[in-house]
Structures are given as structure tokens and as C-alpha cells.
Structure 1
Amino acid sequence: MSENRIEATYLLETPMEPARIAAVMAGEQSSGTFVRVAGETDELRARAAAEVLEVTELGPVDEPSLESAYLERKAVFGPYRRARIRIAFPVANIGRNLPTLAATVSGNLYDIGEVTGLKLMSLSMPQSYRARYAAPALGVSGTRDSLGVENRPLFGTIIKPNVGMRAVEIADLVETLCEAGVDFIKDDEVCANPDHAPIAERVPAVMARIRAYRDRTGRDVMMAFNITDETDAMRRHADLVAAEGGSCVMASLNWCGLSGIESLRAHTGLALHGHRNGFGAMSRHPLLGIAFDAYQAMYRLAGVDHMHVHGIGGKFVDAADEVEAAARRCLMPLAADATGADDRVMPAFSSGQWAGTLPRTFEAVGSPDFLFMAGGGILAHPDGPGAGVRSLRQAWEAVSSGISLRDFHAPELDAALDFFGA
């Protein structure tokens, strides 16, 4: 692809000629408007106008995905034509500016009157543009190195109950989980700085237990503290985690925003655990919003180290192939022409995960480079959290040996299979 352009791919629905609407989209998000204006010279258009690269029709439908008062006023009705659209935007229009990148490839496009459906599917960029932004501080290899874990997934869990426990009670649970053998623990997305367990109390209380465990055993556990807040507060919270010897913070990406995450990345060298709660509002409608491929590209430019992809066979809406595609995309370089630099991020699986879902997860990822978080799969194991973690490790041993879980015959794994179901 060109060194000077960013390419965006969309699904479009319109009762108009798709090629004409693609040209409207390109003009709206670059140098044009609905009429030619003073100062819009041929030279300026050649330098700054977006270009339609592809229009591939996919077939019409009888009913619109979304209503448009504009089309009603014009008395324009179906059939509604769907097409795959690819548009190239000049890098020079955007510069190193994540919010403006998002405004360029999304922005007013969803509001164009002729459009009855639009979804941003993917972004492609040259390595020269990707290099303008921060790489992950730890990413896949750095996260592994910090924990001393090789050749297997990282096994983690989530603090439960989600919210309500006091700082000392959370610290007690973290100590139990460390002793059980987890690699990774995270706060829930709804527990950030509550009155009953404020960060100023929770971080020192929890890290005292993790440090004591680390000093006694030589084994570290990564704790992702939820520091979601306004930007200055997140910086302060990250500083506290670092001062207490922590290695990771978590933020709710959609509510902190691209600039908030980018500012946090610039401030701290801690691992940033990216939680995508709320992403379904952007992604679930097939002809509205932003697909994961485009979404992960923007937040990887912001500098996250880990990215949630939900789980296979879990409690959320994602089909297995959607989760698989998301995880594999996290483990690919962001730029197609990347050479040398490793900017992969660790896909984080959660939502109803336990030993029995591990084989399909490994098959989906195609490597052990993933974070496998089991809440109930560890904490609800009939023989306790330690047995829950051992069941995950036994499941991995079975998978990596090519043996079915039922044929492996390890006590904690067998108990998990009997309790949670095959």
C-alpha cells in the first residue's frame, strides 16, 4: 500500500448508486462538501482529497437497516443496495492525531442522508504511519518475560464479587489466588475507585500481599488494577501502582477514549490492559458501527498491551469465528509491511471460561500466546481455587500432548469436567 495513505474498508447500504455514495463519503471526510467551494483548487484536491479504491456490490435488500429522514423527504425508496467500499485517506490530512484519525474514517459518515447502513470494518496503514505512535510497553513477549512464563497460556482470573468488597477483603482474595497459582488477576470493569475500596487503600493492600508472595516464592503475579477515570486521575493511580511494585493497570477503553488511553500510555511504562466493555454498542448491528478489526487498530495505536476478545462458548453474543478472528488479529503486526518491530498485543479471553473451553481456545488462537481468564472456572471449582488453577494447567498439558481432556485423567481436571459439564 502507499506510504502516504490510510485505507478504510466499509460495508455500505444505500438506495442510491453505491459508487456515487462512496464518492460522497470520500469527499465529506477529506477536502470536499456537497458543493465545490472557493479555495478548493485542483491542486488542493489532488493533494488532500480521499480516493475511492474499491466498490464491490454485494446484493440488494428490500428493507433499509436504518431510517433516513433525508431519503423520506426526497421520496427515495428501495431496493437498498449493499456494497463493500474501500477508501484511501491522505496521511497528511491527519498527522499523528488519533482522535482526528477516528473522525476521518468515521465522523459524519454515519449521518450521511443517502446512507441506510454503514459499518467501518478495517483499517490498513503503512509502517511509517504506525511508527508515529507508541508501541506496547510490554506486549506479548514483555508480559511473558515479566511473569517468567513460556510455552503455555497465561492463566488468570477476575476479582469476584464484581464490586462490594472492602480493600482488605480484596487483598485476602488476591492472596488466596496467588497461593492457588494464577499468573494474572484483574479488577472487574465496574470496580475502579468505589467508596468502599478506594484505589488509595486497595492498591497498597493488594500489592503488600503480592510482594510478600513474590519474596517468598520467587514467582510474580500480575495484577491489573482498574484505574478507569479522568485522565489526570488515571496518571496518579498508575503512579501509585508503580510505586507499590505493580506491573499492570486496566482501563475501560470506550469510556476513557483514544486520547485518554494515549495520554496514559505516554505517562507510564506499566502494561495497559484494555477492557472493551461497551464495544457491543458499536459492533453488534451488522450495518452500523465499528467492527473489531478497525477498533483494535485504533486502540493499538493508543498503546495498549492486552486486548479483550471475549471467549468461545461464553456468556456473550460473539460467535466462535468472531472471537477467533479477533484473537488472531491481535497477534498480527498492525501494519501490513511491518519489519522487525513486534507490536503484537496479548488477546485476553474471558466470559464463562474454564478448563473445558481451553482446547477450542487454543485451536482458535493457533499458539499459546493468550491470556485465559477463568472466574468461576477457578473460584467455583468444587475443590477450591487451587484445584481450579491446576485443572487449567492439566487441561493445557492434555491439549499440548494431543490428548482429549476426558482421556487425560487428572483429578482436578476430571472434577472440573464433572462439575462444569463436558
Structure 2
Amino acid sequence: MSSESLSTEHAEWFRWSDELNRADYVFARYRIVTAQAVEVVALAMAREQSACTTTLPIGDLDLRAHTARVVSIDNHGPSDVRALPRYRLTTSVYADVAQAEQAHAYEVEIAYPIANLKPTASCLLNHCYGEIARLGFLDAAKLLSLDLPTSFEVQFPGPRLGASGFRAKVGAKDRPFFCRSTRPAVGLNNAQLLQVIEPVLRGGFDAIKDDELSEDIAPSRVEERYRGMAETRARLVAETGENKVLFANLIAEDQFEPIAACALRHGIDGVLVAPGLNGFGAIRRARELGFIVLAHNAGVDGLVRPLHVGISEAVWTQLCRLSGADLIMMPGEFGGGTAVRTANTAEAAVIDACIRPMSGHAAALPVLAGGKRPERLPIYQSIVGSDDYFLIIATAVDDHPEGLEVGARAFRQAATGA
């Protein structure tokens, strides 16, 4: 649809009425900045993301069951934010609406009819945000939250194992999970990678995963890599008596199915996919194949990190969980600091999206990465609120003066107090 929707035609079709049933709608909350009359702008957002056109030369139309509805508008005062460039189309629609000298920030809630939606994350995001940021009369547009009715939410697949299922598979109790990525992600051959994997698993790590940059190219082709990982894992399970989990990289446009088949042949337990690159369908497909699914952040930070454009980290996490991710990467700054503290507002929102009741769907396991150290485990536990989290660690292990195995064991000792 076009970006020329500042029309008030059939305005009542796009406004909430108490006669409507809330169970028939998904409620989206936005933070926007505009210099236009906000009542008209909010109607334009609802119009653009649903019917758009309400009259055609083919007879009377009644689209009221399919129109998005403006529920509320809260004025947050003047704003100088200009995260999106303004433009005006040379149409009477734009010309009819006056622009104020001072822009204001608002929170706007819009209800989207389930009659228009399928239970997929891509459909939900397309309808609730798709072309919002394209509108030339918005200086900022951030999707903050999505509230789904149970009757719709329950139709999504959700995690196959989730946090409790993953813990049962690993067999660990009363501690977080530890994983090392196969770094350096490029340049090492498989023999060199195995020299890193073996001591880390022997030192007590629960998992090894491909890096998000790992490919099926020389000097590390997946057939040999996964065979070697599986053989090493089997040896270390027998030696330590502990279960170990392996993850393959499925961030692959042209080789998704062949790499998945190879991983299954060698008994690889899980995969990492990047819905920001692969699409949410990659989570669903990996789930269908029986993998533990780790939703990686590659390709999405440009959508979720900007303060005034895109979607919130909490919405992204919610969509990954609904799609079937068992483990979900947390924001890069998650868990920062050197003192024990509780979660800040942003951290609490993404943790809530992982673990809150969601129409019977299992809780997802938050994944923390980037500069994590053993002495800071109490910080991470306090922020998450439990030991149900998954740490991806490389530097703190690699830089240990006594080597990889001792570096890995330091995390296990910190977790158990031994």
C-alpha cells in the first residue's frame, strides 16, 4: 500500500468501540513522534495497516470486521526526535492536513482483528509494523508491545523443549548452562577446532555450538566437522558421565536443508538460526525437524536497537518464542556491570518475554553472551531471577593462564561453589 493515508474517510471504522470483543483483536502499542494532528495520524496508521482503501467503484463495501482500530492516544509532550526523514506526497491527502511547528511524542495503541491474521510471527509483524515506519508524517515509530488473546496465541507452535525440557536433557541442576562457540569462526580446520572443543567439554561445559559465521566451506566442511564433534562428544560423555549438547549453524540461505540433514545424520542436537536473516520460518522448520532451536541475533540489531524506530527487544523475543525457539539471544548489553543488581527495565522486559505465561507455551531459555566471566555469575542470576540461563563464553576461557580446560572448569566451580 502507499504512504498517503492521511484520510478521515470512514473514520469510525478505524476507531475502537466498546461494543467490540477484545478477544477478537491483537493489541499493539507504539511510541511515535509527529508534527501532524495525532488523531489523524493514528487513524492513518490503522488504515495503512489494514483496509487502507474503503471505497471502490464496485459497489458498497463493509470492511468493519477487518479494519484496525485506534484504542488510545497518550501525549508525552514536545519532542525534537527526528529518527525518520519527513516527506510529503504531491496529493490532496497530504495537503489537507496542517503541520504544527512543534512535534510531540505519543504512545498509541491500535487493535488488529484476528480475522486478518494467521498464527505466524512474520504475519503478525507485517500487519502490526510492516509499513508503519514508511509513513512520511512520522518522525519516529517504535513498536513497544504486542498483546495477543489466548485463542490466537495458543495457535503458535511455541518451544518444543523450552527451558525445563533443555534442563532435563542436559541433566544439570541448580546452575546455569555453559557453552563455547567454535571460535575463531573462520580459518581453522576441523582438527584444530576439535583441539578447542575437547578440553572445554572435559572442563565441564554443557554445549558446543557452531559460530554464526561457520559455513560449509574449506577448511571446515560440515560433514567432517559434525562427525568429529559427535565423536568427541561421545568420548567425553563416557569419560565425564555428563550429557553434552551440540549445535549446528543453520544460518544458510542455500544450504539450510542439506546442512540440517547432515546435522541429523551425526546426532547434532540443536541448531542456531537467525530469524533476522532467515525469517521466522527458519525457527518453525528447525523445530519441525526435531532440533533444539537457538534464535540468534545476527541481522536484527538494526531493527531492535534503535531507540525510536523498529520494534522492541521484548517484541522480538516474544515473536521468537511464539515461533518455537527454545533458546533466545538477549541484547548485547544484557547483564553488564560488576555489582550484583536486579534487572533494569529493558532487561526485565526481555526476560518477561522469555518466561511469562503464554497460553501454555514453554518458557524459553535466555542466552547471554559477550564478555561474561565466572566471578559475575551472581550478577547474571540476580538479573535473570533464576539459574535458567545459557552462557556463551569464549574469551574468559581462552585467556585463562592455565589453559582451556581449567578456564572452563572455573565456570563450573563458580556455579557450584566448589
TM range, normalised to the smaller chain? 0.7 to 0.9
Q: Give the Cα separation in 2 of the matches to 1:222 and 1:40.
A: 61
- Tell me the distance in 2 between the aligned counterparts of 1:166 and 1:323: 38
* Counterpart AA for 1:353: K
State how far apart, in whole Å, the 1-side matches of 2:362 and 2:22 are.
Answer: 21
Q: 2:175–2:416: 8 Å Cα contact kept in structure 1? A: no
Indicate the residue corresponding to 1:369 in structure 2: 388
C-alpha offsets along residues 390-413 of structure 1, whole Å, 9 cap, x if unaligned?
322333345xxxxxxxxxxx7xxx
What CA deviation, in whole Å up to 9, does each residue of 1:137-160 have, x standing for no partner?
211011111110122111222222
Q: 1:12 aligns with which of 32, 42, 48?
A: 32
Q: Which residue of 2 aligns with 1:99?
A: 122
The one-letter code of the counterpart of 1:327 is I
Question: Percent of counterpart pairs with the same letter?
Answer: 26
SS of residue in 2 equivalent to 1:220:
coil
CA distance in 2, matches of 1:320, 1:157: 27
Matching residue of 2:293: 272
Q: Which stretches in structure 1 are left out of the alignment for 5+ residues?
A: 399-409, 411-422
CA distance in 2, matches of 1:32, 1:38: 15
How many residues align? The count is 386
Specify the alignment match of 1:162 in structure 2.
185
CA distance in 1, matches of 2:112, 2:353: 22
8 Å CA contact retained: 2:368, 2:390:
yes
Q: Which residue of 1 aligns with 2:356?
A: 332
1:55 deviates by: 0.8
2:162 corresponds to which residue?
A: 139
Counterpart CA distance in 1 for 2:351 and 2:218 is 35
Distance in 2 between residues matched to 1:373 and 1:324, nearest whole Å:
20
State whether structure 2 residue 326 is matched by structure 1 residue 308: no
Provide the rounded CA distance (Å) in 2 between the counterparts of 1:40 and 1:52: 26
Q: State the distance in 2 between where 1:168 and 1:63 align.
A: 53
Confirm whether residue 226 of structure 1 aligns to residue 249 of structure 2: yes
Provide the C-alpha distance between the structure 2 equivalents of 1:348 and 1:322, rounded to a whole number of angstroms.
Answer: 15
Q: Following superposition, which runs of at least 4 residues in structure 1 exceed 3 angstroms of deviation?
A: 35-43, 71-78
What does residue range 30-69 of structure 1 map to in structure 2 within 5 Å?
30-33=50-53, 36-38=55-57, 43-45=62-64, 47-62=65-80, 64-69=82-87
Partner Cα distance (1:327, 1:194) in 2: 36
1:322 is displaced (CA, Å) by: 2.8
Report deviation, 1:327. 2.8
2:78 & 2:55 partners in 1: Cα distance?
Answer: 31
Q: Is the 8 A contact 1:313 1:357 kept in 2?
A: no
CA drift of 1:39 comes to 6.1
1:63 positional shift: 5.3
Shifted more, 70-79 versus 109-118: the winner is 70-79
Post-superposition offset of 1:303:
1.1
- The residue aligned with 2:307 is 286
TM-score of the aligned structures, taking structure 1 as reference length:
0.85
Cα distance change of structure 1 residues 286 and 40 upon mapping to structure 2, 3 Å threshold:
farther
Cα distance change of structure 1 residues 323 and 187 upon mapping to structure 2, 3 Å threshold: farther
Distance 2:120 2:138 in 1: 27
* Residue 261 (1) aligns with residue 279 (2): no
Secondary structure of 2:110's aligned partner:
strand
Q: Assess, with a 3 A threshold, how the Cα gap between structure 1 residues 49 and 39 changes in structure 2: closer, same or farther.
A: farther
* TM-score scaled by length of structure 2: 0.86
Q: Structure 2 residue aligned with 1:299, among 320, 331, 342?
A: 320
Instruction: Tell me how far apart the structure 2 counterparts of residues 203 and 306 of structure 1 sit (CA, whole Å).
Output: 21
Kept in 2: contact 1:171–1:206 (CA 8 A): yes
1:292 CA displacement: 0.9
Structure 2 CA distance for partners of 1:63 and 1:223, relative to 1, 3 Å = closer
Q: Letter of the aligned partner of 1:11 in structure 2?
A: R
Distance (whole Å) between structure 2 residues aligned to residue 216 and residue 357 of structure 1: 29
Q: Does residue 23 of structure 2 align to residue 3 of structure 1?
A: yes
Q: CA deviation at 1:181?
A: 1.0
SS in 2 for 1:69: coil
8 Å CA contact 1:31, 1:40 repeated in 2: no
Cα distance in 2 for partners of 1:139, 1:242 equals: 20
Aligned to 2:136: 113
Counterpart for residue 399 of structure 2: 380
CA RMSD of aligned residues (A): 2.4
Distance 1:332 1:156 in 2: 25
For 2:260, give the aligned amino acid: A
Q: Distance in 1 between matches of 2:303 and 2:294?
A: 20
Instruction: Tell me whether 1:123 sits opposite 2:146 in the alignment.
Output: yes
